[in-house]
């Protein structure tokens, strides 16, 4: 199996990250740890280097961590991904440094640029929204330039911004394509990205309700990557509030196999092949 988007590099795993990874590798689950800012990107690379195989890294700045002019640089606190931060003021903000990220991105264990993208969801009580959107788009385009320079695909985060993302990818194609991770759009929206050659990343969210069953039924398995996005989004039937970890990606595979009416082994095998192919892992 392949957890194509994990964050064992985050603070939630600071005491037992190595054990979590070992547990995952023992159950034959490979991992890509994804950075959301410079420090976690660096830690993702460190983890990848520590293990001979089975662990790789992606480096990038999550859109909610992008520094905008009107905001002061804050001290690092938590690094939320899909779990909404308690107001942007408590999150870390970073200015994108192309040269620094290029150095990280060139590491042979780095198989993707990410997570980067657009997040228009976390705008509650925020001023200067248009400024923030413009900055997110600008940084995304710069990261696309980097992905094309180092010839790697991209792990894209997108929340409440699929139209803008589609436009940017259409005008600024990523040569090696990538995955629209934690996909929560419709089947129709998924098709637009698939037509451009992107994969759709599914995680625990699809186990919470039947809302994604139509997408799952229609999508060709060859276009799907599975992921945990751990420590977030613990899949059903596990308790939602518990810390998620890579081995739980099997519950995502199980949900897909149930909805599609196919063997779970097939879901695990094909989605792992997709990940290996996209991220050039042999």
**Residue with smaller CB distance to Zn ion, 58 or 257:** 58
Closest distance between Zn ion and the C-beta of residue 17, in Å? 16
Q: Name the one residue in this structure whose structure tokens are 């929340």.
A: 159
- Let me know: does 184 contact 201? Beta carbons within 8 Å: no
C-beta of residue 158 within 8 angstroms of C-beta of residue 129: no
Decide: 265 and 1 in contact? Cβ < 8 Å.
no
Q: Residue 8 or 257: which CB sits closer to Zn ion? A: 8
Provide the minimum distance between the beta carbon of 81 and Zn ion in the complex, in angstroms, as a whole number. Answer: 4
Question: Of 36 and 274, which has the nearer Cβ to Zn ion?
Answer: 36
Report the nearest approach of Zn ion to the CB of residue 124 (Å): 20
CB of 158 to Zn ion, least distance (A): 11
Residue nearest Zn ion (C-beta atom) = 81
Is the separation of the CB atoms in 204 and 218 below 8 Å? Answer: no
* Backbone dihedral angles phi then psi of residue 35, each to the nearest 5 degrees: -85, 155
- Interface ranges with Zn ion (CB under 5 A): 81, 229
Q: DSSP readout, 76-100?
A: -----SSSPPSSGGGS--B---HHH
32 φ/ψ angles, rounded to the nearest 5 degrees: -115, 115
Least separation, in Å, of the C-beta of 84 and Zn ion? 13
Q: With respect to Zn ion, which residue has the nearer C-beta, 40 or 257?
A: 40
In the complex with Zn ion, which residue's Cβ is closer, 135 or 201? 201
Q: How far apart are CA 228 and CA 8, in angstroms?
A: 11
């Amino acid at each position: 199996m392949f957890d194509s988007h994990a964050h064992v590099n985050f603070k939630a795993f600071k005491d037992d990250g190595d054990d979590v990874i070992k547990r995952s590798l023992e159950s034959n689950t490979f991992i890509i740890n994804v950075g959301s800012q410079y420090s976690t990107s660096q830690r993702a690379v460190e983890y990848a280097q520590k293990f001979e195989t089975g662990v790789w890294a992606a480096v990038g700045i999550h859109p909610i961590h992008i520094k905008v002019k009107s905001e002061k640089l804050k001290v690092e606190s938590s690094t939320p991904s899909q779990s909404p931060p308690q107001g942007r003021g408590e999150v870390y903000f970073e200015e994108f440094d192309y040269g620094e990220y290029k150095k990280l991105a060139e590491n042979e264990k780095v198989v993707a640029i990410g997570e980067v993208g657009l997040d228009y969801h976390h705008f509650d009580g925020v001023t200067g929204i248009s400024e923030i959107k413009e900055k997110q788009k600008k940084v995304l385009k710069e990261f696309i330039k980097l992905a094309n320079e180092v010839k790697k695909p991209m792990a894209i985060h997108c929340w409440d911004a699929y139209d803008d993302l589609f436009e940017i990818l259409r005008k600024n194609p990523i040569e090696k394509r990538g995955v629209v991770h934690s996909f929560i759009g419709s089947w129709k929206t998924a098709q637009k990205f698939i037509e451009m050659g992107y994969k759709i990343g599914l995680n625990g969210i699809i186990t919470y309700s039947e809302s994604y069953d139509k997408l799952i039924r229609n999508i060709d398995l060859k276009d799907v990557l599975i992921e945990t996005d751990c420590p977030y989004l613990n899949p059903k039937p596990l308790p939602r509030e518990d810390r998620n970890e890579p081995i739980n990606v099997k519950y995502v595979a199980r949900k897909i196999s149930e909805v599609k009416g196919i063997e779970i082994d097939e879901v695990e095998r094909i989605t792992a092949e997709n990940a290996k192919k996209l991220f050039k892992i042999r």
